[in-house]
Every structure is written in C-alpha cells, then in structure tokens.
Amino acid sequence: MNYILHILVMLEIYIFLALSANQKIGLSGLLSLAQAVFYGVGAYASAIVITKFGFSYWLALPVAISACVITALVFSFIAGKVRELYFSLATLALQIIFFSVCYNWIPVTNGSYGISGISNPEIFGMKINTPLSFALFGGVVVSLVIGFYVWFLKTPISRLIQATRDDQIAVLSLGKNPNYYKRVSIILSAIIAGVAGSIYATYTTYIDPSSFTLDESILILSIVLIGGAGRIIGPITGAVIYILLPEVLKFLQMPDGIAANMRMILFGLLLVLIVRFKPKGIFGKFMIQ
C-alpha cells in the first residue's frame, strides 16, 4: 500500500513540474532546458532554511518562492535577449552552472553529500510524515494548481502570454511589451516548480544535486511534449505515462534492472515519434514549429 502511495506522491510532484514547464513551453513557447533549476532552487532554499535556521515548512515556502522568483528574473533577462535555439542553449548553460554550484558550494549545499534531516510539514498541529498524508497533501496542492490554471487560462493576461508566443509583433502593435508577458510566464512557472521542489525536499527529507541535473530537465520537457503542450490535460497525461510506465513493465514481469533502462528507451522513442509524427503531443494545442 505504501508503495502505491509513494507512486502517487511522485506522480503529484511530476504533475506539478509538468504544469510548470507547460507554462513556459506551452503558453510562452520558450523551450527551456533548465526546469530542474527552479525545482532545485525550491528544494535547496527550503532545505537550507529548515535545517540551518530551524524554519517551519510554512515559513520556508515563501523563502523558496522568493528564491525562485529571483532566479526567474535571470531567465527572463535571457528570454528578452535571445530567442529560439539560443534561448534553449542559454538555459542549458544555466542548468549546468546550477549543478556545478550545488556540487561545489559545500558550506551552503553540502556538495555531493547533500542535505539530510529536512523536517516534514505540519498542518494544524498534525505532522505530514506518512505516504498517505503526503499523498493527500500533494493531492490538495495539485488540485489547487489545476484549479488555478482552469481560471488563469481564461484571463486576458493568459491570452496575452499566448499571443506573445504566437506573434510578438502583433503584441507590440497592441502597445504591449512582449518581454513583460514572458517575464510573468517565467515567474509563474518558477513558482510552481519551486513549490514542487519544496514538497519533494520535505517528502524525501534528503536532497542532493543528482536530483536536479540536465537529465531531469530533459525528462520534464519530454513529459510536456509527449502529453502535449498548451493545455492542462497534456502535461498531466505525460506525467501519468512517465510514472506508470515502469509499473506496466513490472506487470509484464520485467526485472527491475531491465525495466529502468526500458522505461527510458520507450520514453525517448515516444519523444522521437511524437516529434516526427504528432508534433502537438497526445493532447496538445501548441506545436513548436
């Protein structure tokens, strides 16, 4: 039972990450290779203030969000300067720099040893420290984010963000600043990924740089592109496929050692096939041309 609940918690975290990446890719058309940076900033900021300053989770969360917003401002500066492939390459560079900093800034991040002993959150005096309570907590927060997107996608600012994606000059002709809408989109994406990071850190109670690598960023991007960018259902579908794929392989009685590689082979193959034959993804609305 605990195993199923653990799968559920990981699914919720990946839905979070996929929705955050969808904000940048699907709504703004910014192909970022550094979504794991925001995930990592959220996780590290929470872990550091909880373990070094004794903050509670609810005090650590605003710190994590603030750190993500500051990081997002760096990304939005880049998005204002370069576009398309060069934006992707700049984010790739930031991803590797972030990993280097996490690995080497030992007084703060504890390097490759990581940070352990991160305390669990509490709500109304109840500690969230079992897989069931985390699954419920994650479920509530994911529902809130999905509810937010159902509302947000109907707002004028969301339409302007999508208009910036489709035609920057048209947005300029309306007297609007495209860079402002890119900035809003990147900040929103960063906040959601940061919250996912803080939940991940308190769930596992231990983090190290290996969870926030380029591979992780590529994985998050793949989840969105396979599920389909631009709609809420797309990233959720991508996350479900990614998390449930190993379970299907186990059902087929594949040994764990083989299943781990087979999962990535199938996922990579699916990504290539999607790009080749169904560029909008399974449920997507927007296609990177």
Partner 1 sequence: METAIQIILNSIVSGLLLSLVAIGFTYIFRTTRVFHLAHGGIYVTGAFACWWTLTKTNNWFIAIAFAIAVVAILIYLIEKTVYLPLNKKQSNQSISLIASMGLYVVIVNILALIFGNENKTIENSISGSYEIGNIILTKVQMIQTVIGIVATATFLIYLKLSKSNLALQAISDSETISKVFGINTNNERLKVFIAGSILSCIAAILKTLEVGIDPQAGMSITLTAAVVAILVSRMNVLLVIAFSIALTILQNSVEWFLDAQWKDGITFLLLLLVILFRTEGIISYNLRKDRA
Instruction: Give the residues lining the site for partner 1 (CB under 8 A).
Output: 31, 78, 81-82, 84-86, 88-90, 92-94, 96-97, 99-101, 103-104, 214, 218, 221-222, 225, 258, 261-262, 264-265, 267-272, 275-276, 279, 288-289
Task: State the nearest-atom distance from the C-beta of 83 to partner 1, in Å.
Answer: 10
Task: State the nearest-atom distance from the C-beta of 269 to partner 1, in Å.
Answer: 5
| Residue bearing tokens 């960018």 | 229
CA dist list (Å): 23 to 15, 145, 169, 217, 235: 12, 12, 21, 14, 10
Task: State the nearest-atom distance from the C-beta of 40 to partner 1, in Å.
Answer: 14
Q: Which is nearer to partner 1, 63 or 115 (CB)?
A: 115
Q: Which is nearer to partner 1, 146 or 218 (CB)?
A: 218
Task: State the nearest-atom distance from the C-beta of 231 to partner 1, in Å.
Answer: 18
Task: State the nearest-atom distance from the C-beta of 179 to partner 1, in Å.
Answer: 15
> Can you list the alpha helix ranges (DSSP code H) found in 105-252?
106-109, 131-152, 156-166, 168-173, 178-204, 214-227, 233-251
Q: Which is nearer to partner 1, 93 or 170 (CB)?
A: 93
> Is residue 223 within 8 Å of 130, Cβ to Cβ?
no
DSSP lists the bridge partners of residue 126 as: 123
Tokens coding 34: 């550094």
Q: Which is nearer to partner 1, 76 or 202 (CB)?
A: 76
Q: Which is nearer to partner 1, 153 or 275 (CB)?
A: 275
d(CA 284, CA 46): 33
Residue type at position 214: L
How many residues can be counted in the chain? 289
DSSP lists the bridge partners of residue 229 as: 286
